[in-house]
Amino acid sequence: MDKEERKIINQGQEDEMEIYGYNLSRWKLAIVSLGVICSGGFLLLLLYWMPEWRVKATCVRAAIKDCEVVLLRTTDEFKMWFCAKIRVLSLETYPVSSPKSMSNKLSNGHAVCLIENPTEENRHGISKYSQTESQQIRYFTHHSVKYFWNDTIHNFDFLKGLDEGVSCTSIYEKHSAGLTKGMHAYRKLLYGVNEIAVKVPSVFKLLIKEVLNPFYIFQLFSVILWSTDEYYYYALAIVVMSIVSIVSSLYSIRKQYVMLHDMVATHSTVRVSVCRVNEEIEEIFSTDLVPGDVMVIPLNGTIMPCDAVLINGTCIVNESMLTGESVPVTKTNLPNPSVDVKGIGDELYNPETHKRHTLFCGTTVIQTRFYTGELVKAIVVRTGFSTSKGQLVRSILYPKPTDFKLYRDAYLFLLCLVAVAGIGFIYTIINSILNEVQVGVIIIESLDIITITVPPALPAAMTAGIVYAQRRLKKIGIFCISPQRINICGQLNLVCFDKTGTLTEDGLDLWGIQRVENARFLSPEENVCNEMLVKSQFVACMATCHSLTKIEGVLSGDPLDLKMFEAIGWILEEATEEETALHNRIMPTVVRPPKQLLPESTPPGNQEMELFELPAIYEIGIVRQFPFSSALQRMSVVARVLGDKKMDAYMKGAPEVIASLCKPETVPVDFQNVLEDFTKQGFRVIALAHRKLESKLTWHKVQNISRDAIENNMDFMGLIIMQNKLKQETPAVLEDLHKANIRTVMVTGDSMLTAVSVARDCGMILPQDKVIIAEALPPKDGKVAKINWHYADSLTQCSHPSAIDSEAIPIKLVHDSLEDLQMTRYHFAMNGKSFSVILEHFQDLVPKLMLHGTVFARMAPDQKTQLIEALQNVDYFVGMCGDGANDCGALKRAHGGISLSELEASVASPFTSKTPSISCVPNLIREGRAALITSFCVFKFMALYSIIQYFSVTLLYSILSNLGDFQFLFIDLAIILVVVFTMSLNPAWKELVAQRPPSGLISGALLFSVLSQIIICIGFQSLGFFWVKQQPWYEVWHPKSDACNTTGSQFWNSSHVDNETELDEHNIQNYENTTVFFISSFQYLIVAIAFSKGKPFRQPCYKNYFFVFSVIFLYIFILFIMLYPVASVDQVLQIVCVPYQWRVTMLIIVLINAFVSLTVENFFLDMVLWKVVFNRDKQGEYRFSTTQPPQESVDRWGKCCLPWALGCGKKIPKAKYMYLAQELLVDPEWPPKPQTTTEAKALVKENGSCQIITIT
């Protein structure tokens, strides 16, 4: 039973969850119903907020196979609970001729199986999902995904399409014919409607969900309580604030839903043509598509309603929706292994690996091309939320919660306030009972204490700072769709940058070419567009080996291809659709040089005159294109010069890859040195190769040949050198970040040496810093995985290992002298393949490499996301800045993702910058820090406001008195709300500083600040409360009391007369009340000024004009009514007359209070305690930061010496990366020496431990 009770679904994936089975229990349900009635519905609310309690309170545990309800818990750090109801899908509606055929199909795995052969990969058969006796399938839906019961694995599993476990051969052999109508209907029953349904909730539904938030329920409780106590004005103010807050919240939530709905609705219902088994074409709605349908892509293009793999023809697609790049991409049909020369029929189809053959949902097919009248066909592989677009929408609809220390601490802080309220609650009850107060009054007063201690206006106050920060960000062109993340950006201490388009300019410029003749490099040439080269194979390769296409007469495609083609000045012409359909052997694309470039030469002697007299046309037709593949790092084409019998194969790509596919005798000896010289200078280098194909290769054969048959035995032709210039602002921005002790990391899809070179150029790696390249190799031929450590600047000096050992790598000694600290500045660089191997086989090295890893090259989109996670695992607060192209996952996963692209992909990023420049990064961090400090100020102020008011009321309760309604109203509305909403207006400080704000409220300095102010305020309030009783004129106040006569003042007579006529039921008017009211009113303003910190994160307090004006006005007003009372004001505020000397005494108490508060906060806390605690906590960070200028290190060391000497050094840093840095400082084996190898220990896979072996 126990095993049945807890299982894991989505194992090893991002949304992995534990699953528990439950059945509804009637007796439990009856008890809960009774509890709901007795608690006045509060229990129902509690169960609504807590799904785990709801299920456990109303259900009993059951086997997952037979349960009625499942309880799900995420396995990540949030451990969130969800519940889902089990539903049953009846298969009896399946339209087949006889029940017998139905049961046969179910039993052999045919019913909705996506592989039509029961022996091959039978796990795709649907029979495993059903119980054949009843022909019913049990399932539940969670986050828009259906999970079906799978008998084979005895667990729930989501239904997969053709995207997993299906070989390329079977796609052609088993699926290319299409589905029968019966099979289609059956699959539709299981897969459901093909739509990404973003239902926009009704306003009423959203309202109920918002209103049932625990905070609003507490506000409702407060408002009802105040109304019973006749405290209508503030209750009304809170109601108005709540309504404004709810309306604005509803508006923004609904607006986001509508935006998302509009974004996905573009393809929701279109008519599509599908091929059926008998080759008939049927027109259906796109919502009826199921995996396995063969869809016909229309000539004039369409928006893809699903993910499909192309099996016939070519498509030009705009994928900006997914990648952020609006560059059209050419998609070709999936290679058919059955007609392949080598027959690699075992290869499994994967949408990511075969993305050049996959049409993704939501992308726009601009044009299609086909030959000999055949239709362009694609097989549907995924539908609905399983598609790439569906997954993106799901990640937006159901985001992971933001885990930030500030919010966790805020809840702890509130719990502390609740505990304080509890003490006050008990004290009030006991005190009232002892004084024989009426029961009704006891209930109201004791509950009132709770609403005083936990301020209902707190969330509104906290939100104000973030709203102001959002508005300031908007002014500087940064748009935010996740305001809560602004605070988190204040904590960023590491930022990852994409290279192309982010650090460097978007496009590449052609710097020049370096051709090869007779296996020797010629000198570099700048101008390619000349008569000498026009008919060379080199230029022919540049003219044909690309994926450019004409869309509405404009040449478009990859920017790199465009630059190359523009450099030679050729003309590209495409055949029309009519021509393509008419002719069997039409060339779809033709390129030719402009007439002025063709030499008007005389005919050679051996050539007949009449041949030459034919028009001198030089045209090249592109017969077949093998598109660029990031996995292969190359692309190739088969072309034919007009009039030639033989075809030519041209190839371009990464130099190392191209050289390896060429005849060794055609590759120059100094190839490696020349390539390295260019890459070190930051150039992007592309190699070209060519070969003449055999004359027996006909046009038809070429259409079916595999690329491996073409891409070998080539002649190396030379290099194209492209220049990727740094953006003007890049070095300055990175320098600002380094000065602020914020680490910078480069994550790029470009080559390693180019990335290292750009990192040096932009200042990410300083000239004196060392770069260690980690080259990891996966296990092969029985050998374990290993990492070879190279030295970036000494890759060519490997023949002198002794020289490298002595000079290149810093020899790090165990003792901590300043010289050694200077020497340990090193950076790791690795490519995507090595990163994956290290993640899999060297788990214990990952944190060490994260500490100093600066350059990550050739990284795939999912590897970028894994890198962000690895950095977060060592407690870095990670920012990510990318241009939207393939950075979606990383932008979402980072604590603060900033997209420099305004395309739809930016919907995945919390922040989008209007200006495509990284200068937005420091701006965002500055605003984040200001917002974070504002949040701390507001939280501290609201806590003090609660405690001051709580203590005032507690003191007055002791004499069975209280603050008057208008006193409460004056404090709550005139002082607190005005101060809170103006103190949040401080703009950010103009530059980034090295100091970082604390990440949580529960830190030494902040707690000291709050506690010291609480003690000071309580002390001075108590002083006033008890001292007034010692005054010679003091008596228990009654309507005829007239202490003012002692001063001979005439101010009080009118109010005194009024007082006599009114009966004071609640005993508000007394000397203690007046004293406490005046002192506490000033205390609110004193702590507001004390907590309104400016530098180094916000502009000084005096630059916040609204705040200054509000505070001065309130000070003058309170001072005036205290020293020169106005009868009408006294009457409204229920203040009694006290002698003038006591008013002066109160002023002196307030002045001393102000002096003590400001001295403790601004001198003792900021000058003494903050620096000791701050330096101690952050010592690891400053000592081991790899981004710090040398002089700064020395300064920091000076500052750290005092606390270190006092024994603070024994404190273990909180952040893992700091702790690790301390450990590595005394590790003699780290960093690895050059030309050494680290091997993974065989058989020990759990912890991935490794050993270092020095290879001599």
Band of the pLDDT at 631, cuts 50, 70, 90? low
Q: What is the pLDDT of residue 258?
A: 83
Given a cut of 60, is residue 59 above it in pLDDT?
Answer: yes
Q: What is the pLDDT of residue 1250?
A: 52
Q: What is the pLDDT of residue 454?
A: 80
Phi, psi of 80 (to 5 degrees): -85, 145
For residue 389, give both structure tokens.
């677009």
d(CA 80, CA 51): 9
Given a cut of 80, is residue 866 above it in pLDDT?
Answer: yes
pLDDT tens digit sequence for 872-907: 888 889 999 887 656 767 887 888 888 887 655 455
pLDDT tens digit sequence for 105-148: 332 233 333 333 333 333 344 445 544 445 788 999 998 899 99
- Min mean pLDDT across 359-363, 640-644, 1043-1047, 1175-1179 is at 1175-1179
The string of DSSP letters for 117-183 reads -TTSSGGG-GGGGSBTTTTEEEEEEETTEEEEEETTTTEEEEPP-TTSS-BHHHHHHHHTT-B-HHH
Q: What is the pLDDT of residue 322?
A: 63
Q: What is the pLDDT of residue 797?
A: 34
Given a cut of 60, is residue 584 above it in pLDDT?
Answer: no
Given a cut of 60, is residue 824 above it in pLDDT?
Answer: no
**Portion of the chain with pLDDT greater than 70, in percent:** 80
Residue 98 CB neighbours (<10 A): 8
CA angle 687, 689, 691 (to 5 degrees): 175
Q: What is the pLDDT of residue 405?
A: 67
The mean pLDDT value for 241-263 works out to: 80
Alpha-carbon 613 to chain mean position: 66
Q: What is the pLDDT of residue 817?
A: 35
Mean of all residue pLDDT scores within the chain: 78
| Active site members | 498
d(CA 32, CA 796): 76
- Residue bearing the bigger pLDDT, 1251 or 1101: 1101
d(CA 1080, CA 1150): 9
The rounded radius of gyration (Å) of the Cα atoms in the chain is: 37
Q: What is the pLDDT of residue 108?
A: 29
Q: Is residue 765 within 8 Å of 827, Cβ to Cβ?
A: yes
Which residues are within 8 A (CB) of 610 and not within 5 positions of it... i.e. 6 or more apart? none
Which residues are within 8 A (CB) of 355 and not within 5 positions of it... i.e. 6 or more apart? none
Rounded to 5, what percent of the chain is helix, strand, coil?
45, 20, 35
**pTM flag (> 0.75):** no
Q: Is residue 91 within 8 Å of 136, Cβ to Cβ?
A: yes
- The continuous run of DSSP H or E covering 789 comes out as strand 786-791
- Min mean pLDDT across 291-305, 360-374, 964-978 is at 360-374
pLDDT tens digit sequence for 522-572: 888 887 777 777 888 888 899 999 888 877 777 877 777 888 888 888 888
Which residues are within 8 A (CB) of 1112 and not within 5 positions of it... i.e. 6 or more apart? none
